[in-house]
Structure 1
Amino acid sequence: MLGLYFKYHKRKQKPAGRRRQKIPAGFLFVWILVAAVLLCSVIPAKAFVMQPQQQRIVHWNNRSKQNSNTLQVDTEQKITDNDLHALSAVLMDGENGRILYDKAGEEVRANASTTKILTCILALEYGDLDDTVVISSYAAKMPDVQLNIREGEEYKLKDLLYSLMLESHNDSAVAIAEHIGGSVEQFAELMNQKAEDIGCMKTHFITPNGLDAKDKHGIHGTTAADLARILRYCIKESPEKDTFLTITRTSVYSFTNLAGTRSFTCNNHNAFLNMMDGALTGKTGFTGTAGYCYVGALERDGKLFIVALLGCGWPGNKTYKWADTKKLMNYGLDHYQEHTIKDDILQKTDIPIQYDPNYRRQQDAEKTTIAWECSFSETLLLREDEQITVRYILPEKLELPLQTGMQIGSVVLSINGKVYAIYPVFITETISGMTWKDFISGYIKYYIDRNYS
């Protein structure tokens, strides 16, 4: 390209003594532009083309279209915050994690021994039930409630997990934490990382047993919503969910230390297991700061509910947690029914295509809009008066090139104004854009028409 330029330059030079004729600046600019484009064309096209799932539209237009379905049955809510003793309470749909009811559900509070559900599931995921656990002096010094294990004794991890979950022994919790994490501090890091991984952003655990504690990051505590999320992970998502349920549903369990010199019997203190048909699992807790706490699950009639309670009374009111749990569980059973929401509720209006009049290719000229696709099917529990709202986040126009499977926006599904899910929107056709040849020839034609016509 540079050779052609110098050849042209040399041919246009005048004899000595005459003034040299300048090359038109516009013509030189066109040749430099062509050279630059050809040079860039040797770079792999992948450097300029994002993969379909990575495509982004810079200018978004929130075109709100609503498709609201109100189930006309009973619009009266049967429970209020004043009906509950707990300072914080949550009723969750265990199948998908949606909060159906909450009272100060996002307020951080001490949560006592309900912490032990996370200690248990981490031990199951990182350890082996036949592991040998050696008791440290620190573990043996834990305050009541305790198994009264002694320094230097050896136990199976499995046996200590029953001690942890049935009787809520604090010394067993520390022995488990030291065995799995190397120390209580390192185990706490595992706990907090797991909590964050499952979406518990307000949880901060310091001890494996839930005893009141405080450090530079705050108190040992969580929210009712986060506590429900942790139990949901334990019974729905963890690879060790079946073992977790087996342990926590056991009524009585007996074992000995490995030397066979001491024997123990543990009784399950989760009274809710015998209070309602379908009661699945749960864990109690109490400290002077936390008050009575509880997290539990119930499965009946194809519905799975999780209740989490924090600050549900103090000594003298030990039964408040059972009353609140039953009230919330019955509320869920009576007022929430299963419904399936599918993508057939969407209004799929085609999106206009934006063509550049200077460069568009003639074979695309008749195509003025493009269709899009968004697929989903959700089965969830809905109260009779809940309203489903669909919001479309789509561009007003799309520019070429377009490729099948390219994500161009989102559909937002809300229930009573709270976002439930966001689904990606894809286009269903491929329409080619300009090639390098199209660009060069189009620009040269545009320049000539503008400057020499």
Structure 2
Amino acid sequence: MKKITSLLACLILAAAALGPRAFAAETKNELAPDAKSAILIERDTGTVLYSKNSHEELPPASMTKIMTMLLIMEALDKGEIKMNEKVRASEYAASMGGSQIFLEPGEEMTVEQMLKGIAIGSANDAAVAMAERIAGSEEAFVDRMNERAKALGLKNTHFENVTGLPVKGHYSSAYDMAMMAKELLKHEEITEFTGKYEDYLREGTDKKFWLVNTNKLVRYYPGVDGLKTGFTSEAKFCLTATAKKNGMRVIAVIFGAPSTKERNAQVSKMLDYAYSQYTSHPLYKKGAVLAEAKVSKGDVRHIRAVTSEPVSVLTKKGVKLSNIKKTVKLNGHLQAPLEKGQPVGTLSVSQGGKMLAKTTLVAEKSVKRASWWQLFKRAAGMFAQND
């Protein structure tokens, strides 16, 4: 009896010590009770704050367009397309059903207008038109989507189209969708589109078209500025949302909610939890110069290594940061040509041997291969110094 009493006492003391954590876990389990799967992450560090069946393969519906938009933004960065460039809608693109901006075959809109249609109105026709412009066909663009998913290390995603319209073999997971959203948000300007509640297309004509954001939280939840909703009868109500408050950006994903109301309520609850329990400590903005790397056979000898995304450290509220160690490691033997944005190293942030954040450093500018004359002059200069 004494042993049992002692054991109970120990259990009570242990429960008291772990009480807050146990309560937090119990609270988190109720964040998305009606969703098939869900995840909540802090964007900069990728820290998972809540997870429910987050690796289950499910139909993503129009949340597919997060990857579509990512490839569009990357094409813009590479100069493959420009915002003011006009894109022509093919007969196939104009034939897309579901959400659309009612493109007519042969109709032209700028990349910016197409992006508005995709980001705000979830336009299937605009998504296909952009896919055809960038890759030549929807099929070729889908191949790029799957290659990009693989490059991101996503193991539970496979795309069959750029729209999310129902088709066998088209699936993703809450975790994978959060990682796609994390990557898309490296392009901070995307929220200028996804964060708008309403806009217009074909202004100044008798076909003026009113765009209303399918993500109502951009209007009703302070700080929400994206990213993408989804609905089909198979997928039910889905949402990948992002919000930024007090310098902290989080991403919340819901798959398979029974209604719009439940979807929005549960995402709101996840966001409330993140902002009530955690604090972000910003360290660097995107593009911060952290080192200078040597480049072999380039038209310049050095390139500045910059942050590819905002860098911050996440803690529970009330926890102070101290003795933070920042380590920059540059890739060995960088050789021209280098593209702007190409990885050239890493930044690691740790505390007491524990990794808090890790991010890629990229080339600030492109570096062309040096001409034979530049290489000759350098070699001559080296010989002169050795004399």
Give the TM interval when normalised to the shorter protein. Answer: 0.5 to 0.7
SS in 1 for 2:260: coil
Q: Is the 8 A contact 1:98 1:420 kept in 2?
A: no
Asked if 1:266 corresponds to 2:211, the answer is yes
**CA displacement at 1:267 relative to structure 2:** 1.7
**CA displacement at 1:338 relative to structure 2:** 4.6
Within a 5 Å distance, the mapping from 1:163-178 to structure 2 comes to 163-178=117-132
How does the TM-score come out when normalised to structure 2? 0.65
Root-mean-square deviation (CA), in Å? 3.2
How does the TM-score come out when normalised to structure 1? 0.56
**Residue number among 245, 250, 254 corresponding to 1:309 in the alignment:** 254
* CA distance, structure 2, for counterparts of residue 93 and residue 378 of structure 1: 10
* CA distance, structure 1, for counterparts of residue 88 and residue 318 of structure 2: 55
Asked if 1:291 corresponds to 2:236, the answer is yes
Within a 5 Å distance, the mapping from 1:29-178 to structure 2 comes to 74-75=20-21, 76-77=23-24, 78-81=27-30, 83-126=32-75, 127-178=81-132
Structure 1: runs of 5 or more not aligned: 1-70, 341-376, 386-410, 424-453
* CA distance, structure 2, for counterparts of residue 83 and residue 247 of structure 1: 27
Q: Specify whether residues 413 and 422 from structure 1 end up closer, same or farther in structure 2 by C-alpha distance, changes over 3 A only.
A: farther
**CA displacement at 1:146 relative to structure 2:** 1.9
Q: Is the 8 A contact 1:199 1:229 kept in 2?
A: no
Asked if 1:282 corresponds to 2:227, the answer is yes
**Residue number among 170, 177, 185 corresponding to 1:227 in the alignment:** 177
Q: Specify whether residues 338 and 161 from structure 1 end up closer, same or farther in structure 2 by C-alpha distance, changes over 3 A only.
A: closer
SS in 1 for 2:105: coil
* CA distance, structure 2, for counterparts of residue 87 and residue 128 of structure 1: 39
Within a 5 Å distance, the mapping from 1:188-203 to structure 2 comes to 188-203=142-157
Give the AA of the match of 2:146.
N
Runs of 4+ residues deviating >6 angstroms? 411-415, 419-423
Q: Specify whether residues 130 and 99 from structure 1 end up closer, same or farther in structure 2 by C-alpha distance, changes over 3 A only.
A: same
Give the AA of the match of 1:186.
A
SS in 2 for 1:381: strand
- For the pair shown, the structure with the greater C-alpha radius of gyration is 1
Match of 2:264 in 1: 322
Match of 1:381 in 2: 315
Q: How many residues align?
A: 278
Q: Is the 8 A contact 1:412 1:421 kept in 2?
A: no
Q: Is the 8 A contact 1:224 1:310 kept in 2?
A: yes
Structure 2: runs of 5 or more not aligned: 1-16, 76-80, 283-310, 320-349, 360-387
* CA distance, structure 1, for counterparts of residue 353 and residue 239 of structure 2: 30
**CA displacement at 1:91 relative to structure 2:** 0.5
* Percent identity for Structure 1 against Structure 2: 28
Q: Is the 8 A contact 2:62 2:228 kept in 1?
A: yes
Give the AA of the match of 1:327.
K
**CA displacement at 1:413 relative to structure 2:** 9.2
Match of 1:450 in 2: none
* CA distance, structure 2, for counterparts of residue 79 and residue 163 of structure 1: 35
Match of 1:254 in 2: 200
SS in 1 for 2:268: helix
